[in-house]
Chains A and B, each alone.
Chain A
Amino acid sequence: MLSMFFAPEIKEAAKAAVGQAAAATPAPATLPKLPPLETAHPWAMPTQASTFAESTDNLYFFITALSVFFFVLIMGAMFYFMKKYARRSEDQKTSSITHNGKIEFLWSAIPAVLLVVIFAWGEIDWIKQTTPPADAIDIRVTGQQWTWKVDYPDYPGVFLTSAMDEPLVTMMVPKGRPVRLIMTSEDVLHSFYVPAFRVKKDLVPGRYTTMWFEATTVGEFNLFCAEYCGERHSSMGGVVKVLEPEQFEAALREAAKLEQKATESPKDFGGRIYKRRGCDACHTLDDSPGNGPTWKGLYGKKETLSGGETLTVDDDYLRESILTPRVKVVAGYENVNMPSYQGQLDDKQITALIEFIKAQK
């Protein structure tokens, strides 16, 4: 079918895109691509990968079955009447029926009963979905235009940030253990949506929202932002990786590691940090405008601050801006609330970042 026609080309394009992105310097002017996943056939339901998925799908199928049944019934009657009672002559007599109490009662009561059944089923599943078990692992999610920041209170020091052009994992969870997400946003509304788990919850600035799920299959699953949040809403995606419980902790620590590789220069390490810690969400490298100042030509530049004083951008200013960003704000960026990376980046990482910035001439 048509899917055959498209599938190989999609796979080609996706592979090329990933390869290209990995090789080139990130260019945020074009939208970064979401990691391509296995192309299911175009008419399939998403995989069932959580304990909720099956019951949600069952209710979905039940409603579909009922809908199809009633639709066929109604349309069947309609087409049948269209054929049988088509106007054949100008003098065709029509019936004087105006109503029928019995039929009208039946076709009000039966749908009402069915709707109550559907409501009750949905509500029962909803109660399960809104009551996390006591032994759930807590994960904190912070949404920020346009990236997810995930940390694990039970595993201090682990921060995951979704990068936008590497197939990096946004969140890791163990299979078969309930996981509770405690979520908030730093700026506008976002929404955490994993189709394969059939879960979704908004991230609201100024308060915490919670949701929970238990993954049932090992694998990688698409994560989407499902509440419009501005320019890069479409690319605020990521991947939730489900691992066997034994491998979970080790994998978590490995993924969270952001250390300079043996063959890597500080500048390249800085480039990885730029993507991994979400700097690329606000600072471009090609002079194009972003939420924050571009890094092209930044080092050594004379900047005017919001108070009117000027300074030359040097190592100290960069370090200060990373750790306490709101002390010396460049004029025009007063309303942008850059979060502090105190505790999230160590000295080595900050130095590497500074090297990277220096290289953006």
Chain B
Amino acid sequence: MATPDKHSATDGAHAREPSFYTSKRGLMSWIITLDHKRLGMMYLAGTMFFFLIGGVAALTLRTELLTPELDLVTSATTYNKLFTVHGAVMVFLVIIPSVPAALGNFLLPLMLGAKDVAFPKLNLLSFWIYTLGACFFIYTLFAGSLDTGWTFYTPYSSNGGAQGTAVISATFGAFILGFSSILTGLNFLVTVHKMRAPGLTWNRLPLFVWAIYATAVIQILATPVLAITLMLLIIERTLNIGIFDPAMGGDPVLFQHFFWFYSHPAVYIMILPGFGIISELVAVHSRKHIFGYKAIALSSVAIAIISFLVWGHHMFVSGQSELAGVVFSFLTFAVAVPTAIKVFSWVATLYKGSIAFNTPMLYALAFLFTFTIGGLTGVFLGALSVDIHLHDTYFVVAHFHYVMMGGTIIAFIGGLHHWWPKMTGRMFNEAHGRWGCLIVFIGFNMTFFNQFIVGQQGMPRRYATYVPQFQLQHVLSTIGSYILGLGLFWTLFYLLRSLKTGAQATDNPYGGASLEWMTQSPPIEHNFHGQPRVDTDPYNFPQIDRSGGMDHH
């Protein structure tokens, strides 16, 4: 098998050139950059900043939950604001943008052998729209913050129950963020269709690209509905139109339908890119062809389509019709099948592979563990009778944290490590990385596994105080959250440190075979010298290794 350094021979013909970081200089060159790589790094900084804010809110409320009574947090309204901020920031400012906007922006043109995305100026606009939406959220925090829950259910959110202008600024912020998401999705869709390198057929695309593509489809089709929902909510609140407020003739359940029509596909916007990352990690670090390429690619598209049909499973007890419940339950189980196929395929990829237990691979394996639990617990919630008991309890909280955090965030961190050399030109300390993964894994499971238990025992969610019999589980969960927080801070620390003291990265430290590894680390401004061509799929490791290394020009 070829050693990693052999692969840099492909670019060895070119002397090391200024990377995209230094090819242009000055603050303005970042502010109005059209370079997808710079935009990706800016998104990375932004999403990680908000991850910190959302995380601090979470640690605070977990600390409050150590005891059944209110003590650290002195009023229930403050607690309610904390979980609202945690949810809204994490959903809109972190998880939805993180993989597509940060990693996707950086990697997509590279993986396609292109110089940039289809519409670089639109990409810049997307970033500043994200920033503007984020400003509205920050304003909300200072304007007294809101306490409606990130789901903004009416009539509480439309009716003055919640604090004054905060609802409007937060929903308007989310409205703006929606446009950032739509424009990014649109850009990626066109890029994948139109800017593939010669020879890069759909069947040869890296699975990360397939995942981003499916995500883009959802972003384009679902987010406009969120936009209109939030617009109607703002108008309801300011003008009392009477569409959601029963006092004026409206229907609160209609809001739930509108809201979940977007927000369910949104959760697939969150996880599909994570799936794409795992496909890359598992294949590269076991140096084996991904098992079931077609199944994984097409299942992403299937998930994207079916995801639009299952929104009512959030509303089994809402008062929607019984028949609707039956239909939504059935379709919810339908969407489980393509997801299961992926998990099986990833495990099968390990078979007769050559597995390296470096940090990215450890995160991928951790993902398989936590995401499987998350996915399986979704089955409980899709079953009508069981969901009656579990809806709006901590079981649901545990389920979505297992898939969103144990899924997307774990995959994101794994991807961050895997492409860290490419993005920064530095290697992080591998031992530090492995410890970090272990601490995060232990902390995560300890935080959230107990929540399944306490949920099925009947503890509802969004509770500031609780019945004393649940205290043990909450204490364990809070201790777990501190460990998780520690692991995440540790990861931040050694990653940032690597920027200063890490070893210089070669073009291809992990022996990947997709196009991003065929260029410098970090890449030059125009990504490649000339137009790369492709004549094989990016997972053909056994053949590549047998023929003694890759040669793509």
A residues engaging B (CB < 8 A)?
Answer: 2-3, 6, 10, 13-14, 30-31, 33-34, 36-37, 39-40, 42-46, 52, 55-56, 59-60, 63, 67, 70-71, 74-75, 77-78, 81-82, 85-87, 90-100, 103-104, 107-108, 111-112, 115-116, 118-119, 121-123, 125-127, 129-130, 145, 187-189, 191, 193, 195-196, 198-202, 204-207, 209, 222, 224-235, 237, 335, 337
Contact = CB atoms under 8 A, between A and B. Distances in A.
A74 B347 contact: yes
B542 interface: yes
Interface stretch (B53-61, B131-139, B354-362): B354-362
Contacts, number: 305
Contacts of B471: 6, 10
Contact of B458 (A86, A195, A335): A195
Contact of B76 (A31, A78, A111, A118): A31
B238 interface: no
Interface in B150-197: 153, 155-156, 159-162
Contact of A37 (B340, B392, B467, B473): B467
A78 B282 CA distance: 12
Interface in B456-485: 456-458, 460-473
Nearest to B470: A42
B155 A42 contact: no
Interface string B314-355: 000111001001100110011011001101110110111111
B275 interface: no
Contact of B388 (A2, A200, A204, A207): A200
A97 B352 contact: yes
A202 to B, nearest CB: 5
B376 A224 contact: no
A207 B319 contact: yes
A36 B325 CA distance: 35
A87 B246 contact: no
Interface in B248-263: 250-253
B472 A42 contact: yes
A13 to B, nearest CB: 7
B27 to A, nearest CB: 43
A98 B351 CA distance: 11
Contacts of B465: 31, 33-34, 234-235
A94 B354 contact: yes
A93 B388 contact: no
B468 A205 contact: no
B204 interface: no
Interface centre among B287, B291, B389, B541 (most CB of A within 10 A): B389
B365 interface: yes
Interface stretch (B102-110, B292-300, B433-441): B292-300
A39 B246 contact: no
Contact of B460 (A31, A60, A193): A193
A189 B458 CA distance: 19
B322 to A, nearest CB: 5
Nearest to A6: B472
B543 to A, nearest CB: 7
Interface in B113-143: none
Contacts of A70: 372, 376
Given A46-B457, A228-B156, A31 B464 contact: yes
Contact of B287 (A94, A187, A206): A94
Nearest to B337: A112
B384 A123 contact: yes
B542 A96 contact: yes
Given A31-B465, A56-B389, A204 B318 contact: yes
Contacts of B470: 42
